[in-house]
């Protein structure tokens, strides 16, 4: 079993905050096939279409038959830890701060032998599960986990470097007025977050669910209006240095296309709440998150975007909304590059229609706010960058990969 | 007549404080409540401010902001074109209203005591008649300003939103019609978020202050403050909206001129 994490003590405000460092993160274009799999929590290696050899490390030709037809495919992650060693000294600044560090070789049942980081509960000679994770540099690495879950296994320091587990972290839910925001507050409290800040705009407007929200353990309601730059800035000044995960729950869902709408009022609101709201959050919270990427057990860990899967392909019935979601997706990609030096992940969670008021007329399947919130917590615990929640999101992802043009036509019908 | 008016002495009286200038305007701030409509309808934009530069790399020697807001955000003026009943009147928009109309006397009807415990207080003809019995008839061409002390409330109480909508004081239909037809008023002004009763959508006609006032080319002022500093009669209101092309209304600075220097001689409650 893993030594359980101890709730971090209050930080000495006079102590220097150490700057985040990253392990070496350069990968070949081909090797980013592993990054793509790790970002979604899949275990994929190259598989030769001609001789079925499973290939590791990534190559441009099959080492067995020289075929160039070697796409990444999901493969069995089971294997045996055949040898391990512990690095006691390193010249790499990132690892110097983290030694001793166990590494080992895992013989996969699928064939290849992989050099991997080792979870503390793995034992030489025993069965392991290999996972691909994004390390602090944002690149894929392999880590061997014990075959079966062990107690407190998420608290393993090596693993926690690669995940964004909310346990003992402080979370900001940016909008507590939405059902998703409220579900998110509950999910993060349940996940062991030490404070769940919940933003509330326009305190003069009633919120029937406010009492219920206040009763959730460790929830603190804070004033926050994503359409007001000053409000976002003030919240970051007030609490930014003790927020480790930001979950942007602001939404603006209205039906209507780009042609079939009268005027720009709604479009401006969409852009203001969603796109500009994201930029305001990014400018106010981004720099302090990035600076606190190595700030102990409750280091800054993630910025979570909740995005319609139709950011990836427009759904004309909600076309203008989708266009704004696409803008947010693009901004999120930029944020990834900007926050990566701090080791802070940007998690994009894609979903189809929600079981909420503004999707009232849309038939199922729909994603409930609770399911979405649980999926966000799960994705953070896994350390993902992209998660697809629900049947519609998964369907769009798959169809997009096969034939985007067909999907474009299908969304219009 | 013109010979007897000395604007220089007027200006000197203002400068000397013999004519007091009272600001009836709420500060434009992001937090101040803006009217709320059902979410599927178009909404009035709240006030927002974005710093362009502040003696920094974005503009080294100067500070300025870009602002955004609706025509009906903060303390604002309603032009007749705002309402469907006034849509076809001549000179009905803020850019075409005769500018002399931006200066007019005011009658201040104090119902703050009646409203204090009753946000559903509705102004009636008998209430105004009682006011007239004490202060004299409302002269034609006067603003009628409803003092409710609503501007002193917390924002939540100010907006008065409950499960069944807003609960704020305002006029019932008969009194608005009467003020327009029997008293030929200039317009109607309130401290609340709109000129109408909070539950005014249930009246017949709905939103009578808008319907009757604008239908007869009269004006509206709302989100006023400091009405408690005005006498029942005798104040002159300067309320000039921005010259927005075909504007339905406009945020503005509303000033009241009140004769008499001594703030200690505040008028007794009516």
pLDDT tens string B120-151: 999 999 999 999 999 999 999 999 999 999 99
Which residues of chain A carry a pLDDT beneath 70? none
Say whether A208 sits in a helix, a strand or coil.
coil
Contacts of B167 (CB under 8 A, 6+ apart): B119, B120, B160, B161, B198, B199
Structure token pair of residue A309: 């899967």
Query: CB B260: neighbour CB atoms within 10 A?
Result: 13
Q: Do A203 and B161 touch (CB under 8 A)?
A: no
pLDDT at B197 over 60: yes
**Contact B50/B34 with Cβ under 8 angstroms?**
no
Q: How many domains does chain B have?
A: 1
Residue B49 lies in a domain: no
Q: Which of A228, A254, A263 is opposite residue B48, by nearest beta carbon?
A: A228
The position carrying tokens 């799960």 is A378
In angstroms, the CA A186 to CA A172 distance is: 12
CA distance A282 to chain B (A): 16
- Mutation target for B interface from A210, A228, A229, A268: give the one with most B CBs within 10 A: A228
Residues of B in contact with A252 (CB under 8 A): none
How far is residue B152's CA from residue A238's CA, in Å, rounded to a whole number?
28
Of B50, B154, B158, the CB nearest to A229: B50
The phi and psi torsions of B245 (rounded to 5 degrees) equal -55, 120
The pair of three-digit structure tokens given for residue B229, joined into one six-digit string: 């500093």
B246 domain residue, yes or no: yes
As annotated, the residues of chain A forming the CATH 3.40.50.720 domain(s) are 170-412
In A8-84, alpha helices (H): 32-40
Q: What number of H helices and E strands is found in chain B?
A: 6, 15
DSSP string, A278-310: HHHHHHHHHHHHHHTTTSSTT---EEEEEEEGG
The pTM assigned to this predicted structure is: 0.95
Chain A CB contacts of B161 below 8 Å: 204-206
Domain span including residue B234: 2-44+71-265
Q: Which helix (H) or strand (E) holds B113?
A: helix B112-116
Q: Is residue B13 over pLDDT 70?
A: yes
Q: Is A307 exposed, middle or buried (0-12, 13-18, 19+ CB in 10 A)?
A: buried
The pLDDT of residue B265 is above 90: no
- Check if the beta carbon of residue A204 is closer than 8 Å to that of residue B156: yes
Residue A11: the pLDDT is 86
Residue B205 is part of a domain; what is its CATH number?
3.50.30.50
What is residue B270's predicted lDDT score, i.e. its pLDDT? 42
Helices (H), B145-192: 155-159, 173-181
User: For strand B170-171 and strand B122-123, is the pairing parallel, antiparallel, or unpaired?
Assistant: parallel
Residues of A at the B interface, defined by Cβ within 8 angstroms: 202-206, 208, 225, 227-231, 254, 263, 265-266, 268-269
With respect to residue B98, please indicate whether it lies within any of the assigned structural domains: yes
**Which residues sit opposite B236 in a β-bridge?**
B105, B257
Question: Which one-letter DSSP state was computed for residue A274?
Answer: I
Tokens of A127: 């069965």
Cα–Cα nearest to B131, from B149, B117, B114, B118: B114
Cβ contact B36–A228 (<8 Å)? no
Tokens 């709730």 belong to residue: A7
- Superfamily of domain A170-412 in the CATH hierarchy: NAD(P)-binding Rossmann-like Domain (3.40.50.720)
Chain B residues touching residue A202 (CB < 8 angstroms): 33
Distances, alpha carbon A157 to alpha carbons A5, A165, A186, A340, in Å: 9, 11, 26, 20
Mean pLDDT, rounded, of chain B? 95
The catalytic site residues of B sit at 82
Q: Is residue A310 a contact partner of residue A263, using CB atoms and an 8 Å limit?
A: no
Closest approach of A72 to chain B, Cα-based (Å): 47
User: Distance between CA A172 and CA A178 in Å, rounded?
Assistant: 14
Q: Helix, strand, coil proportions of chain A in percent (round to 5)?
A: 35, 20, 45
Q: Is the pLDDT of residue B264 over 60?
A: no
Backbone angles phi, psi at B105, to 5 degrees: -75, 165
- Determine the Cα–Cα distance for residues A154 and A165; give it in Å rounded to an integer: 8
B59 lies in some domain: no
Over residues B33-68, the pLDDT tens digits come to 999 999 999 999 999 999 999 999 999 999 999 999
pLDDT value for B262 = 55
What's residue A10's pLDDT? 87
Spatial distance between the Cα atoms of A81 and A65, rounded to a whole number of angstroms: 27
Taking only Cα atoms into account, the Rg of chain B, rounded to an integer number of angstroms, comes to 19
Bridge-based pairing state of the strands A127-134 and A78-87 = antiparallel
Q: What is the interface size between A and B, counted as CB pairs within 8 Å?
A: 37
**Would you say residue B87 lies in a domain?**
yes
pLDDT for residue A1: 81
Out of B30, B159, B163, name the one closest to residue A204 (CB).
B159
Does the interface predicted TM-score (ipTM) exceed 0.85?
Answer: yes
- How many Å apart are CA B205 and CA B268, to the nearest integer? 35
Alpha carbon distance A374, A194 (integer Å): 17
Return d(Cα A91, Cα A138) in angstroms, integer: 20
**In whole angstroms, what is the distance from residue A67 CA to residue A177 CA?**
56
Distance CA A51, CA A306 (A): 41
| Best residue of A203, A204, A230 to probe chain B, by most B CBs closer than 10 Å | A204
């Amino acid at each position: 079993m893993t030594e359980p994490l101890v709730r971090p003590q209050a930080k000495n405000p006079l102590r220097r905050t150490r700057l985040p460092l990253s392990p070496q993160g350069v990968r070949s274009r081909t090797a980013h096939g592993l990054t793509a799999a790790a970002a979604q929590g899949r275990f994929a290696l190259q598989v030769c279409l001609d001789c079925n050899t499973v290939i590791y490390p990534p190559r441009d030709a099959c080492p067995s038959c020289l075929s160039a037809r070697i796409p990444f495919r999901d493969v069995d992650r089971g294997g045996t830890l055949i040898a391990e060693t512990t690095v006691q000294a390193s010249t790499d600044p990132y690892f110097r701060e983290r030694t001793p560090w166990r590494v080992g070789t895992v013989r996969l049942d699928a064939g290849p032998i992989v050099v991997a980081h080792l979870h503390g509960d793995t034992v030489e000679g025993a069965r392991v599960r290999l996972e691909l994770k994004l390390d602090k540099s944002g690149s894929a690495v392999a880590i061997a986990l014990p075959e079966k879950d062990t107690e407190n296994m998420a608290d393993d320091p090596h693993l926690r470097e690669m995940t964004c587990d909310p346990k003992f972290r402080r979370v900001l839910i940016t909008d507590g007025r939405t059902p998703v925001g409220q579900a998110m507050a509950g999910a993060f409290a349940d996940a062991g977050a030490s404070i769940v800040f919940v933003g509330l705009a326009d305190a003069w407007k009633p919120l029937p669910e406010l009492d219920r929200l206040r009763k959730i353990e460790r929830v603190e309601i804070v004033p926050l209006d994503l359409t007001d730059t000053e409000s976002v800035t003030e919240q970051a000044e007030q609490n930014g240095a003790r927020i480790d995960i930001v979950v942007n729950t602001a939404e603006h869902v209205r039906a209507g296309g780009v042609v079939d709408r009268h005027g720009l009022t709604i479009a401006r609101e969409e852009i203001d709440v969603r796109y500009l709201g994201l930029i305001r959050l990014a400018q106010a919270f981004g720099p302090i998150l990035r600076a606190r990427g190595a700030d102990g057990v409750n280091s800054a860990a993630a910025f979570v975007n909740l995005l319609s899967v139709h950011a990836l392909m427009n759904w004309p019935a909600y076309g203008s909304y989708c266009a704004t979601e696409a803008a947010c997706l693009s901004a999120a990609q930029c944020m990834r590059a900007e926050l990566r030096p701090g080791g802070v992940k940007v998690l994009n969670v894609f979903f189809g229609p929600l079981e909420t008021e503004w999707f009232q007329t849309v038939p199922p399947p729909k994603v409930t706010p609770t399911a979405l919130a649980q999926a966000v917590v799960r994705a953070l615990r896994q350390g993902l960058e992209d998660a697809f929640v629900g049947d519609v999101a998964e369907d769009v992802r798959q169809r997009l990969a096969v034939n985007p043009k067909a999907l474009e036509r299908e969304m219009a019908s | 007549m013109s010979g007897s008016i000395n604007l220089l002495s007027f200006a000197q009286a203002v400068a000397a404080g013999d004519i007091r200038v009272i600001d009836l305007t709420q500060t434009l701030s992001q937090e101040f409540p803006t009217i709320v409509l059902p979410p599927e309808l178009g909404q009035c934009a709240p006030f927002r401010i974005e710093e362009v530069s502040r003696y920094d790399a974005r503009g080294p020697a100067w500070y300025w902001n870009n602002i955004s807001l609706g025509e009906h955000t903060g303390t604002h003026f309603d032009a007749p074109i705002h309402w469907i009943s006034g849509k076809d009147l001549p000179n009905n928009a803020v850019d075409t209203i005769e500018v002399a109309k931006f200066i007019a006397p005011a009658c201040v009807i104090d119902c703050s005591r009646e409203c204090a415990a009753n946000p559903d207080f509705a102004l009636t003809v008998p209430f105004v008649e009682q006011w007239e019995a004490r202060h004299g008839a409302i002269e034609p061409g006067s603003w009628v300003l409803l003092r409710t002390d609503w501007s002193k409330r917390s924002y939540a109480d100010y907006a008065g939103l409950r499960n069944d909508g807003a609960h704020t004081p305002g006029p019932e239909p008969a009194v608005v019609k009467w003020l327009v037809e029997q008293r030929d008023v200039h317009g109607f002004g309130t401290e609340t978020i709109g000129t109408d009763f909070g539950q005014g959508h249930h009246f017949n006609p709905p939103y009578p202050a808008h319907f009757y006032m604008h239908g007869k080319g009269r004006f509206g002022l709302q989100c006023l403050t400091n009405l408690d500093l005005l006498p029942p009669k005798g104040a002159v209101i300067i309320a000039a909206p921005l010259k927005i092309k075909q504007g339905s209304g406009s945020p503005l600075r509303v000033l009241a001129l009140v004769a008499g220097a001594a703030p200690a001689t505040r008028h007794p409650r009516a």
